[in-house]
Amino acid sequence: MVDLSSQLLQLLFSGLTLGSIYALIALALVTTFNITGVLNLAQGEFVALGALLAASLFAAGLPLPLVFILTVAGVAILGGLVERSAIYPARGASSMTLIIITIGLSISLRGLALLVWGTDPLLLPAFSSGGPILIGGAAINPQSLWIFGLTAVTLAMLFAFFELTYLGKAVRACEINRTAARLVGINPGAMSLLAFAGSGAIGAAAGIFIAPLTLATYDMGFMLGVKGFVAAVIGGMNNVGGAVLGGFILGVLEIYSAGLVSSGLKDAVALLVLLAVLLIRPEGLVGVIAGRKV
Amino acid sequence: MDKNIVFRAAAIIIFLVLPLLVKSNYLLGILIIIGLYTIIVIGLGILMGYAGQVSFGHAAFFGLGAYSVAVLSTAYRWPTFAALLAAVVVPGLLAALIGRPTLKLKELYLVLATLAFGILVHIFFNEAREITGGPSGLTGIPYLSLGGLVFDRDIKFYYLVWSTVLLISLGVNNLIHSRVGRALRAIRESEHAAETSGIDTASLKLQAFVFSAVLAGLAGGLYAYYVTFISPSPFGFHTSVLFVLMAVVGGLGTFWGPLLGTGLVVALGEILRWAVPLAIPGAGGEYQIIFFGVILVVIMIVKPEGLGSIIKFSKKSVEKGVR
């Protein structure tokens, strides 16, 4: 018999696992949004393509680390191609036009995934074998630990990129003020390309992390993308740290409501949270607490 | 201007004669669906073309209209007029609820809110089995009857739907050439300038959004009476995207745009339904959407004002209204 506290702890771990994925997606969304002004509704498709590509490469017999590198690079290139073919030609257009373009891209990429991989779910094995690990009475799936660790590494690398490298500083300058960044000689077109390639890479990584838990399907991206938005909105659309925190909050909230109330609620919770935040506090819940805007 | 009247008169004659020429029920059914979608796209066109906003949740308003009629006319035996009124009021009220806070902010918030709202409503249609019948839907919706006239055949429904389209088109055309229309256009050109000129932009955008939801609800109510059976599947996210595609293909802010866009997209959908399984054996309906996605991207890059702008004189008449 599992007692309540260990059950709550177990749900917390599941929530944080899911939250890591949302945090990564939200991070990519917010970064792209602040650099380019484009709300990329196709972000979830990068996650799905990452998961599918990784599952195929692994099935072809490649070792997991190589699968990881190839997939991340592949989807990053795709992200760059998408930016050059669809976003860059419309760079002067209204944000309504750009949003419609990303919706069209999302549908097209999902269709592409359907053409290539079909409707059957693909399997990517867990990164390490072995049964669940017991922590404080809660059984933790080792894959969850992988996800925590790899998310932490990804976030640390991004932090280092933004804080320590010249290119990262240019990206941040572009996020803070596009016009001023242009005046000091930063090319916004290159930054936009970088943002989409980076979004592809981060999305692909998130897809590889989650695939062992959920299987990889062509249509997994849409809801993941929407959840990423919810996380970003919770955090405030111009706050990278807030977006990451928003991801964890959403993941925990979703798992608790699914685990304690009803599993049918899982998707509805995120959407209700999004509507509630938009209607009550559209500048984001975290914005005030997290303080510093990147 | 004269050319315009001739063109419109010709269209009305075509509308009157067409069902007499069309012998197949399949084609008549498609014409009815085009009419119903046109009603929705007219509203969406005002929202997008004049108020500069986009909604990815209009299938939900369409569905709310349809379910209002389905539930009220079967379980509660409401007469047609009352049920149709509910089909208009329910989406209108919900649109006001979402639109009021989000439209005061920058444009992307309405997109996210309508997106979330659309998916939530679709979940509701599937999950609230006691009310909506869940995934299997609701059956036994009675025929639409107004003043003793029962619309029990497709041809009657055709005239009803297309008369509604005509009335709405003319009403909207008048609206666009009125003070409200000029104010809406001013918002599209520059929200700041419009505000400086004393236009209450948030309130007008809200009115445009609620109006578009009301039209979608009306189309949904009529749809429920037409098919007499409804399930959640036609009211999902993809339908919302299709409505946006129809509005964009036809061209925003033109008289003929909604009809043109809806006709083209519905026709293309039907053609793809035949052609895709021939090209890709074993392909289901999901593949259609790829083409729609690509078309949407290409049009938005190449011609964001839509194909309707090719018809020059209708655009000129709009410009005349500005002066």
What's phi and psi for B41, nearest 5 deg?
-70, -30
What is each CA distance from A190 to A91, A193, B195, B213, in whole angstroms?
12, 5, 35, 40
pLDDT at B179 > cutoff 50: yes
Cβ <8 Å between A100 and B101? no
Cβ <8 Å between A39 and B108? yes
CA nearest A84 in B: which residue?
B301
What DSSP line would sit under B241-273, residue for residue?
Answer: HHHHHHHHHH-TT-SSHHHHHHHHHHHHHHHHH
Please give the Cα distance from A124 to A143 (Å, whole number).
Answer: 11
Sort out which chain A residues have CB atoms less than 8 A from B56's CB and list them: 103
What's phi and psi for A141, nearest 5 deg?
-70, 130
Please give the Cα distance from A54 to A71 (Å, whole number).
Answer: 6
Cβ <8 Å between B297 and A105? yes
CB within 8 Å of B146: residues ≥ 6 apart = B80, B81
Cβ <8 Å between A100 and B248? yes
Cβ within 8 Å of A, B 110-139: 111-113, 115-117, 119-120, 123, 127
Instruction: Mean pLDDT check: name the lowest of A40-44, A105-109, B23-27, B273-277.
Output: B273-277
Which carries the bigger pLDDT value, residue B314 or residue A224?
A224
CB within 8 Å of B55: residues ≥ 6 apart = B44, B47, B110, B111, B114, B209, B212, B240, B244
Select from B127, B289, B304 the Cβ nearest to the Cβ of A107.
Answer: B289
Write the DSSP symbol of residue A89: G
Cβ <8 Å between B304 and A272? no
Sort out which chain B residues have CB atoms less than 8 A from A272's CB and list them: 120
Cβ <8 Å between A107 and B293? yes
**Torsion-angle region of residue A116: left (phi > 0), alpha (psi -120 to 50) or beta?**
alpha
pLDDT at B166 > cutoff 60: yes
Sort out which chain B residues have CB atoms less than 8 A from A97's CB and list them: 300, 304
Q: Which amino acid is at A109?
A: L
Task: State whether residue A243 sits within 8 Å of chain B by CB.
Answer: no
- Mean pLDDT, rounded, for B191-217: 88
Cβ <8 Å between A100 and B102? no
Nearest Cα of chain A lies from the Cα of B109 at a distance, in angstroms, of 7
- How confident is the model over B116-142, as pLDDT tens digits? 999 999 999 998 888 888 888 888 888
What ipTM does this complex have?
Answer: 0.84
Q: pTM for the complete prediction?
A: 0.88
Cβ <8 Å between B123 and A267? yes
Tokens of B35: 């009419």
pLDDT interval class at B285 (50, 70, 90): low
CB within 8 Å of A58: residues ≥ 6 apart = A64, A67, A124, A125
Task: State whether residue A100 sits within 8 Å of chain B by CB.
Answer: yes
Q: Residue length, chain A?
A: 294
Select from B109, B296, B301 the Cβ nearest to the Cβ of A89.
Answer: B301
Cβ <8 Å between A267 and B108? no
On the 0-12 / 13-18 / 19+ scale of CB atoms within 10 A, B240 is buried
Residues of chain A with pLDDT under 70: 1-2, 264, 284-294
Picking from B56, B294, B300 by the largest number of A CB atoms within 10 A of its own CB, the best residue to mutate is B300
Please give the Cα distance from B111 to B127 (Å, whole number).
Answer: 24
Nearest Cα of chain A lies from the Cα of B79 at a distance, in angstroms, of 33
In chain B, alpha helices (H): 2-21, 25-45, 58-74, 80-102, 108-127, 129-132, 154-176, 179-189, 191-196, 201-227, 237-250, 257-279, 288-302, 312-322
- Mean pLDDT, rounded, for B17-46: 89
Task: State whether residue A262 sits within 8 Å of chain B by CB.
Answer: no
Closest CA to A205 of A138, A153, A258, A275: A153
**Torsion-angle region of residue B55: left (phi > 0), alpha (psi -120 to 50) or beta?**
beta
The predicted structure's pLDDT at residue B80: 85
The predicted structure's pLDDT at residue A290: 43
- Contact predicate A230/A273, CB 8 Å: yes
CA nearest A39 in B: which residue?
B108
Nearest Cα of chain B lies from the Cα of A204 at a distance, in angstroms, of 21
Select from B97, B116, B300 the Cβ nearest to the Cβ of A100.
Answer: B300
Q: Residue length, chain B?
A: 323
Please give the Cα distance from A66 to A46 (Å, whole number).
Answer: 19
Q: Which value, to the nearest 10 degrees, does the dihedral of the CA atoms of residues A173, A176, A179, A181 take?
A: -10
Which of A105-122 are b and which e, b meaning 16 or more Cβ less than 10 Å from the residue's Cβ? bbbbbbbbbbeebeeebb
The predicted structure's pLDDT at residue B281: 67
- Mean pLDDT, rounded, for B75-93: 91
CB within 8 Å of B283: residues ≥ 6 apart = B276, B277
